[in-house]
Amino acid sequence: MNDLKNALIKAQEDVRANCPMAPSITNFVTIDFVANAQIAVGGSAAMVYMPDEGGAMAEISKCLYINVGTLIPVHAETVPNAAKAAHEKCAYVLDPVAAGMGELRTKLLTDMKDYPPAIVRANASEVITLAKMWGLIDTDEGKVRGVDSTESVESAREAAETLARFIKGAVCVSGKDDLITDGERTILSFGGSEYFARITGSGCSLGGVCAVYHSVTDPFTAAVAATNAYNVAGAMAEKKAEGTASFKVAFLDALSNMTGDDLAACPMKEI
Ligand X SMILES: Nc1ncnc2c1ncn2[C@@H]1O[C@H](COP(=O)(O)OP(=O)(O)O)[C@@H](O)[C@H]1O
Ligand Y SMILES: Cc1ncsc1CCOP(=O)(O)O
Nearer to ligand Y, 45 or 264 (CB): 45
Length of the chain: 271
Cα(148)–Cα(208) distance, rounded to whole angstroms? 18
Residue 197 touches ligand X, criterion: CB under 6 A: yes
Residue 29 touches ligand Y, criterion: CB under 6 A: yes
Question: Side chain identity at 72, as an amino acid letter?
Answer: I
Cα 216 versus chain centre, distance: 15
Residue 143 touches ligand X, criterion: CB under 6 A: no
Q: List the single partner that 69 binds among ligand X, Mg ion, ligand Y, none, CB under 5 to 8 Å by kind.
A: ligand Y
Nearer to ligand X, 143 or 168 (CB): 143
| Closest listed residue to residue 135, CA positions, set 109, 170, 154, 117 | 109
Residue 42 touches Mg ion, criterion: CB under 5 A: no
Cα(207)–Cα(102) distance, rounded to whole angstroms? 22
- In the window 77-106, what residues touch Mg ion (CB under 5 A)? 97
Count Cβ atoms below 10 Å from residue 244 Cβ, excluding itself. 12
Nearer to Mg ion, 120 or 188 (CB): 120
Residues ≥6 apart with Cβ < 8 Å to 110: 133, 134
Residue numbering of the annotated binding site for substrate: 47, 201
Q: List the single partner that 50 binds among ligand X, ligand Y, Mg ion, none, CB under 5 to 8 Å by kind.
A: none
Residue at shortest CB range from ligand Y: 69
- Shortest approach of ligand Y to residue 184 CB, angstroms? 28
Residue 236 touches ligand Y, criterion: CB under 6 A: no
Is residue 109 helix, strand or coil? helix
Nearer to ligand X, 81 or 125 (CB): 125
Alpha-carbon separation of residue 127 from 38, 98, 119, 216 (angstroms): 23, 10, 11, 25
Q: List the single partner that 30 binds among Mg ion, ligand Y, ligand X, none, CB under 5 to 8 Å by kind.
A: ligand Y
